[in-house]
Amino acid sequence: MTKMYQDLKKTFWWPGMKREIAEYVAACLTCQKAKVEHQKPSGLMQQMEIPE
């Protein structure tokens, strides 16, 4: 929600903008899936094999 609000307020403004964006993001399935807390941890880094 914060990222979308920051991006939109650079170009647009309307009364109740922050509340409407929060409601939209809360109802958007795509937005919910993209949230960091819903993603699996990336795990430890693996060293790549050196080509011969």
Continuous H helices in the chain: 2-9, 17-27, 29-34
**pTM summary value:** 0.56
- Residue 43 Ramachandran class (φ > 0 left, ψ -120 to 50 alpha, else beta): left
pLDDT at 40: 66
Q: Report domain extents, the chain.
A: 2-38
Q: What is the pLDDT of residues 2-11, one digit of tens each?
A: 888 898 999 9
Q: What is the pLDDT of residues 1-52, one digit of tens each?
A: 788 889 899 999 999 999 999 998 888 888 777 766 656 667 788 888 888 8
